[in-house]
Amino acid sequence: MTDLRQGGIAILDFGSQYTQLIARRVREQGVYAEVFACDADADKIDMHQPRGYILSGSPHSVYEPDAPQLPAHLLATGKPIFGICYGMQALTHALGGVVAPAQTREYGAAIIMHTGGDNPLFNGLQPEINVWMSHGDRIEQPPPGFVALALSDGSPFAAMGDPARGYYGVQFHPEVRHTAQGTQILRNYLFDVCGCEAKWSPAAFIDDAVSAIRAQVGDARVLLALSGGVDSAVAGALLNKAIGERLIAVFVNTGMLRKDEPEQVVQVFHDEQHINLIAVDATEDFLDALRGVTDPEQKRKIIGKQFIDTFAAQARHLEADFGDLRFLAQGTIYPDVIESAGSSKKSRVIKSHHNVGGLPDDLHFELVEPLRDLFKDEVRAVGTALGLPDSVVWRQPFPGPGLAVRCLGELTWERLETLRHADAIFREELERQGLLRTGTAQSFAVLLPVKTVGVMGDNRTYEEVIALRSVTTDDFMTADWARLPYEVLARASSRIVNEVRGVNRVVYDITSKPPGTIEWE
């Protein structure tokens, strides 16, 4: 079995908001990239024998007393190092250069001029480059052996390098789209400086993952919590390819799913993918447990506990039928791993939003996480390569508690049905205009516990309000409200008021994140 992670790039995270974006940009070039905390153990960082290192940005100043510093072992490896923004400053500081506050800080768009010459980092680029800056410090004196490779109005060393050792630094962010030729700069570092190979692809990943799954589980059965979302769906398809009928998928219908989703899950995974699927309709149990509850955090806790109880009961039944079940599969993806770990020195945890954390002590599972090395866009590419339909692969994110956090106030079957119907209409109108897949990142309806006066025909009405929410984002860490065409909003509003009983007003949420969140609860 070939480990596709061997010979990639190790990214050290000094606290930048763009660190995961660096990894995504590297992988887009077919090179595996893995993120580590800047204070991670050397043997962990070098576990997959990276060909080079990238140092991320940071909100710190390198000369502050508690600022993170360059790990000494990186210099001892003799491998190339590429510092981005703070990473460049950390490299400078460690090698004896001088970093100081800049007289003129640079934030946002800027122009750099590179010096040309024998410089692999800027090979093939135009002399003048539009870049994205975000720094208050600058290099005053580079370390011995380094030369200036580019300058800007505020930075005499907007880029520097020591080609003999393969050490480079840039004061700007090549990973963001605002840096016009940033991808080419990264490519030059990956292939010309580090000598990486472009071997990371969906097809190669599938072959590697299938071999890894078979090696881990042997002849045992694997239990999968299937939500119907993209991550668990792709994990299920991958496991099905690897072990076939020894996969047992459990799908719990909480009653909080979108219109027709329970039926779609059964059709796709049982009828089309031929996965051994057990579908459990626990709607009444969830509604009983949630009766009278209006606090959003209490809703989440009740739903989480009810899900665990339902899933654990099914696991015990299956153990009684098949004997000991050793393995539990999850759709954990790479951002979950980074977010859950927080630091390389912390132990691996099961994220609560996967709904299987906190299982009873009598259920002892070893985790199978075939997607834990992938970003969301890579998961979608793998799902397509595995033959999953677009309706599953491109399904927009959906919170674990489902419509419970979009139905504000008390949860009743009638109010959930009202929300389900309105949400379906909104998504239908977006789909009709091609906006559900490419125009928006997340779009949904929210039912408010507010009644307003309206007029229908000659009659006065006093009914509930639907809020529509649609956002655009690359990473879901920040988001902007989608500027949807007025015609789309008008049709959605008209249809909802006319077709959904109990609703007489529709509003559109134009709040960005921050200050708001994407979900309402």
pLDDT by residue (tens digit) across 8-60?
Answer: 999 999 988 788 889 989 999 999 999 999 999 999 999 999 999 999 988 88
Cβ neighbourhood burial of 124 (10 Å; 0-12, 13-18, 19+): exposed
pLDDT-above-70 percentage for the chain: 92
Helix (H) / strand (E) element for 131: namely strand 128-141
pLDDT tens digit sequence for 373-419: 888 889 999 999 999 999 899 888 888 899 999 999 999 999 999 99
Indicate if 194 belongs to the active site: no
- What is the DSSP code (8-state) at residue 519? S
Location of structure tokens 């010309």: 192
| Polymer length in residues for the chain | 521
CB 314 within 8 A of CB 361: no
Q: What average pLDDT does range 476-494 have in this prediction?
A: 92
pLDDT at 341 exceeding the cut of 60: no
CB 69 within 8 A of CB 28: no
Nearest CA-CA partner of 173 in 122, 131, 110: 131
Q: What average pLDDT does range 70-85 have in this prediction?
A: 94
Residue 204: both structure tokens together: 């190669």
Is the backbone of residue 314 left (phi > 0), alpha (psi -120 to 50) or beta? alpha
Give the pLDDT of residue 111.
86
pTM exceeding 0.75: yes
Q: Which amino acid is at 432?
A: R
CB 209 within 8 A of CB 361: no
pLDDT at 351 exceeding the cut of 70: no
Indicate if 173 belongs to the active site: yes
Q: What average pLDDT does range 425-441 have in this prediction?
A: 93
The CA distance from 236 to 276, in Å, is 10
Indicate if 85 belongs to the active site: yes
Higher pLDDT, residue 76 or 354: 76
pLDDT band at 450 (very low <50, low <70, confident <90, very high): very high
Cβ neighbourhood burial of 359 (10 Å; 0-12, 13-18, 19+): middle
**Set 135, 173, 354, 421: catalytic member:** 173
CB 133 within 8 A of CB 107: yes
Does 142 sit behind a cis peptide bond, omega within 30 degrees of 0 on the bond before it? Answer: no
pLDDT at 362 exceeding the cut of 70: no
Q: What share of the chain is helix, strand, coil (3-state, %, to 5)?
A: 35, 25, 40
pLDDT tens digit sequence for 169-194: 998 899 887 888 889 999 999 999 99
**Set 34, 38, 85, 463: catalytic member:** 85
Q: Which residues of 62-74 are buried (b: 16+ CB within 10 A; e: fewer)?
A: beeeebbebbeeb
pLDDT band at 133 (very low <50, low <70, confident <90, very high): confident
Integer angstrom CA distances of residue 127 from 131, 147, 153, 189: 12, 17, 15, 18
The CA distance from 137 to 86, in Å, is 9
Q: Which are the contacts of 57, defined by CB distance < 8 A and separation ≥ 6?
A: 14, 15, 16, 18, 19, 84, 85, 86, 87, 134, 173
Q: Which are the contacts of 480, defined by CB distance < 8 A and separation ≥ 6?
A: 471, 472, 473, 512, 513
The CA distance from 90 to 225, in Å, is 43
**Set 175, 378, 429, 463: catalytic member:** 175
Question: What's the angle, vertex CA 159, arms to CA 155 and CA 165, rounded to 5?
Answer: 145
Higher pLDDT, residue 347 or 255: 255
CB 114 within 8 A of CB 129: yes
pLDDT at 346 exceeding the cut of 50: no
